[in-house]
Copies of this chain bind each other. A is one copy, B any other.
Amino acid sequence: MQKQIIYFDHAATTYVKPEVFEAMKPYFLQEYGNPSSIYSIGRSNRKAVEDARISVAKSLGAAEPSEIYFTGSGTEADNWAIKGAAQALRKKGKHIITSSIEHPAVMATCEFLKKEGYDLTIIPVDSEGLVHPDDVDKAIRPDTVIVSIMMANNEIGTIQPIKEIAQVCRKHGVLFHTDAVQAAGNIPIDVKDLGVDLLSVSGHKFYGPKGTGVLYIRKGVRIENFIHGGHQERNRRAGTENVPGIVGLAKALELAVENMDAHTRKLTSLRDRALKGITERIPYVRVNGSLERRLPGNLNVSFRFVEGESVLLMLDMKGIKASSGSACTSGSLDPSHVLLAIGLPHEIAHGSLRLSFGEINTEEEVDYLVDSLVEILDKLRNMSPLYEDFVKGENKNV
C-alpha cells in the first residue's frame, strides 16, 4: 500500500486549480455583497458576474454574453434545458428524443417527463457509441419538442457528430440541446459553429468548483424557467448568484481554453501509453468506445472474467483512483447502461474500468498503473470461477 495518491478519475471530478481558487477567494471574504444590491460592494460583485459571463461566452463561442446563464450544477442545466423546452412547447407536442448513452442528468429527466405523459424516443448507438444523425432525422415527428444528445460521453469518451445532428434538428425546426459537461474544457466548443440551441456545462470537470454550471440558451430560444423566484440572471434563473463559484467556473474555463492544445497533447499521450501497456500485457481485454472520436483523457477497458469494483478496490489499495462506469451510478447493481448500449454482454460490462487522465498525471504514474493492473488481474482471475471455466474449456479444446 503506497501513500501517494494517483488520480485517474478526472471525468468524475477535478480538483480546483490554485489560480482558480485564488480568483474565487476575494468573493468569499471581502467582496461578499449581493450582486443585486445597488451599492458599490454589490456592484463590484455584479461586475465580477458579468465579466464571468463575457468570459464564458467567449470560451464557448457564444454570440452574446446574454446567452450564458449560470446554474447550480451541470445536472440543473440539463433539467432546465429539457423540462423548460418541454413546458414552453407543450402546445406543439409531447415528444422528446434522446440517446441510449446519456448521463442520468438527461436520462432521468426524460424518464420523468415520460411519466408525465411525454413520448420518449431513445436513439440507439453503434458499437463505438456513436449516434447516427440519420436516426435522429427519422425519429423527429411533428410533435417533437426537443432533441437532447450529449456532446461527449462520460464513460467511454465518444464524441458525437453534434454539428450534423444540430443541422438535422434545425432542418425540422426542432430545438436541440447537448449535454457538453464532459466536452467543455476538454475539447473545443463553438456554439455558433455547432448550431446548437441549448448546451450544458458543469464547472467541476475542468478544474473549476463543484456546484456550478452553465446553460447556454441561444438568443431567441424561449424555454420556461426552471427555478422560479427573484430577478437574477435576467429573470431566468432565480437565486442569489454564487459569485465565487461563477468567477471560478469562468476562470477555469478560460484557462482550459487557453491550454487546450497542450492539454490535448498531454492527455492523449498518457492515454495512448496506458492503452498500449494494458493491451500488450494483459490478455482478454476489450477497449470500449471509438478510438478516433474520443475525449483525449478517456480510456475505458473491459477485463474479462473479473468484476470492476474488485479492480477499483485493489487499485485504490495501491493509491490509484479510477472509476468503473460513472461515479454517479456506483451503488447500483446494474452494469453501466452505456456499455450495454454499445453491445457488451452484462458480465463483460461488469468488468470495466474507466481511466480519465488529467493535467497532474505523469508517464511514471501510467507505468505504475499498468504494472499494478497486471498484478491485480492476475490475482483476480485466479480467484474467478469464470476464468476457471474458461481455462478448462480451453484445455478441453486442446
CB atoms of B225 and A76 under 8 A apart:
no
Interface centre among A36, A231, A239, A309 (most CB of B within 10 A): A239
Cross-interface CB contact of A230 among B41, B76, B312, B328, cutoff 8 Å: B328
A322 to B76 CA separation, bound complex (whole angstroms): 32
Return chain B residues, CB-CB under 8 Å to A323. 37
Selecting from A11-19, A131-139, A189-197, A336-344, the interface stretch reads: A11-19
Q: Determine which residue in A76, A243, A312 has the highest number of CB atoms from chain B within 10 A of its CB, and name it.
A: A76
**Shortest distance from the beta carbon of A134 to any chain B beta carbon, whole Å:** 29
Report copies per complex.
2
Closest beta carbon of chain B to A42's beta carbon, Å: 7
- B-contact bits for A308-333, CB 8 A (1 contact / 0 none): 01001101100001111011111110
> Does A32 have its Cβ within 8 Å of any Cβ on chain B?
yes
Q: Does A100 contact B (CB under 8 A)?
A: no
Contacts of A107 in B (CB 8 A): 229
Given known A28-B16, A210-B244, A244-B210, contact A321–B33 (CB-CB < 8 A): yes
Interfacial residues of chain A within 190-227, with CB under 8 A of chain B in the complex: 202, 204, 209-212, 225, 227
Interface string of A151-181 (1 = CB under 8 A from B): 0000000000000000000000000000000
In the complex, what distance in Å separates the CA atom of A321 from the CA atom of B323? Answer: 49
Select one of B18, B38, B313, B321 contacting A42, CB under 8 A: B321
Q: What residues on B are CB-neighbors of A111 within 8 Å? A: 228
Q: Which B residues are CB-close (under 8 A) to A244?
A: 209-210
Are the CB atoms of A210 and B245 closer together than 8 Å?
A: yes
- Whether the pair B239, A36 counts as a contact (CB closer than 8 A) is no
Indicate if A5 sits at the interface (CB-CB under 8 A). Answer: yes
Let me know if A9 is at the binding interface, CB within 8 A: yes
B328 touches A41 (CB 8 A): no
Question: Which one, A67-75, A141-149, A382-390, is touching chain B?
Answer: A67-75
B29:A9 contact, CB within 8 angstroms: no
Specify the chain B residue showing the minimal Cβ separation from A39: B316
CB neighbours of A331 from chain B (8 A): 36, 231
Contact A29 to B33, CB < 8 A, known contacts A105-B229, A239-B105: no
A117, chain B: closest CB distance, angstroms: 12
Q: Which residues of B contact A30 (CB under 8 A)?
A: 15
Cβ contact of A328, chosen from B28, B71, B104, B232, cutoff 8 A: B232
CB closest chain-B residue, reference A323: B37
Instruction: Please name the residue on chain B nearest to A328 by beta carbon.
Output: B230
A331 to B75, CA, bound (A): 29
Q: List 9 A-B contacts (CB under 8 A).
A: A14-B32, A16-B32, A40-B316, A75-B230, A79-B229, A79-B238, A108-B230, A211-B240, A230-B326
Could you list which residues of chain A lie within 8 angstroms of chain B, going by C-beta atoms? 5, 7, 9, 12-16, 18, 21, 28-30, 32-34, 36-42, 71-76, 78-79, 103-109, 111-112, 202, 204, 209-212, 225, 227-232, 238-245, 309, 312-313, 315-316, 321-324, 326-332
Excluding A39-B321, A104-B230, 17 further A-B contacts by CB distance (< 8 Å) are A5-B41, A9-B33, A9-B37, A12-B33, A12-B34, A14-B32, A21-B28, A36-B330, A36-B331, A37-B327, A38-B324, A38-B330, A42-B321, A108-B229, A202-B240, A211-B242, A230-B326
